Amino acid sequence: MKDLWPDDIATTRMRVPVSILREQASALKNKTKGLVTAEVLSRSGSSSVYGSDLDDGELEHHFVICAPTLDGYRYDLFSVRHDDLSYPATGHFNAVTEEIPDEAHFESWLRGVFRHERTKRIIHSLIAQVSEPIAS
Amino acid sequence: MSSKAYFGGMVRFLFWNLNRKKFPEILRRAVHDHSADIVILAESPWSDAQLLWLLNADAAPATPVFQLPFTNCKRIQIVSRFSPNSFPPRLESDYFTMRSLVLPEREELLLVCLHLPSKLYASDDRLALSAGDVSRRIRELEATVRHERTVVVGDFNLNPFEAGMIAVGAFHATRALDVARRHRRVVNGTTYPFFYNPMWQLYTASNGAPPGTYYYEQSEQVAHFWHVFDQVLIRPSLLPRFDHRALQVLHEVVGVSLLDGKGRPDPAIASDHLPLTFQLEF
């Protein structure tokens, strides 16, 4: 049998958005020594019921900030939506929606979200809340 | 004086979309004259400090002062006569804050305060959330806290008759008491809990009250003119504690009409939305 496939068909360095988001959730946990963590909640259009605006085949990931010692407090920081091809994706943060054409732009967009004053304010407020009982 | 003695078992709520306008005296009088214990504001122009100063300026002796519970939700501002420790947030986003209300010797409530995206900006906010998303988060949180004593209040930017309010995958809010008392129904094999929506009574009110909380006239073939975007929903388990007569859309505060000469919310006096008050025995 002739193998018509190219040699590099199984080789890809592309990472899907949800993988990158999980890495960043882990990074946040390390950076805050576990005081503030994050989880990635995903849903798909095929499992949606009325009231959801996801199309069939669409995936949406929510990046949710968590404060485990604040009675499980969680904050839904941003969301990313894409079809089953991963890119292009659409990111929504702070009431602004942006088109994200590829992985490089996704990382750049995420960097902007994480450095945004809004994000810092939320995380700082959680660290302050978590630290308060310890300090008193 | 303990909070239990002061509240006497009744918790009074006031919700108002302020349209980013400052009308301090009217707001202060609305809160005090309706003995609001929990004040929930959307589009508030007040800083937290300003709001506390305004509402606590002439607090009656032995009356608990208003305090600010912790929140990161930027579209909702809350002050409460309850200690912030008894009002912990559970889940928040830019659009909603879901929090427990835990008082000694009382059953815990779940209070969801929200300001959903405006239809005017729906295309931009499309990704943020939908009624279905919020509803799903509520059901998940109810499963976590293991009860359904849930109140949802805010500016939904939806009318009670729209699919986002009625559909099973959305808020599933019914106007019918007997239907709500079934608590839940099964659709396509999935069980969905009901909300009861008391706001429908505005459509049949015959006391001269405005038939909505917001007036918007479009030059379209279909126009509703009056909208009931500002709503409260309760789970059926709270029905025995909900005082239907106490639900009011205020169109007057201490003799000052919030309406213009045509009977519509007057932005020159206060907000383009009318405030909503209700109470629960708790």
Query: Is pLDDT above 90 for A43?
Result: no
Domains of chain A, by residue range, sit at: 17-135
> What residues of A are in contact with residue B170 (Cβ under 8 Å)?
50-51
The predicted structure's pLDDT at residue B126: 54
B3-281 placed in CATH 3.60.10.10: yes
Dihedral (CA of B185, A52, B236, B91) sign: positive
- Mean pLDDT within A119-129: 94
Is B90's Cβ below 8 Å from some Cβ in A? yes
The predicted structure's pLDDT at residue A116: 97
Size of chain B in residues: 282
Cβ–Cβ below 8 Å for A71 and B132: no
Query: Is pLDDT above 60 for A48?
Result: no
Distance, CA of B23 to CA of B45 (rounded, Å): 10
The predicted structure's pLDDT at residue B52: 95
Cβ–Cβ below 8 Å for B124 and A97: yes
The predicted structure's pLDDT at residue A57: 82
The predicted structure's pLDDT at residue B180: 96
**Whole-number percent of chain A with pLDDT over 70:** 90
- Mean pLDDT within A65-81: 93
The predicted structure's pLDDT at residue B123: 53
The predicted structure's pLDDT at residue B258: 96
Closest to B16 (Cα-Cα) out of B153, B174, B109, B165: B153
The predicted structure's pLDDT at residue A46: 56
Tell me how many degrees the CA angle A42-A46-A47 measures, rounded to the nearest 5: 65
What DSSP designation does B222 have?
Answer: S
Point out the residue among B88, B93, B168 whose CB comes nearest to the CB of A76: B93
- Mean pLDDT within A2-10: 89
> What residues of B are in contact with residue A77 (Cβ under 8 Å)?
93
The predicted structure's pLDDT at residue A135: 39
Cβ–Cβ below 8 Å for B163 and A71: no
Regions of chain B with pLDDT less than 50: 1-5, 124-125, 127-128
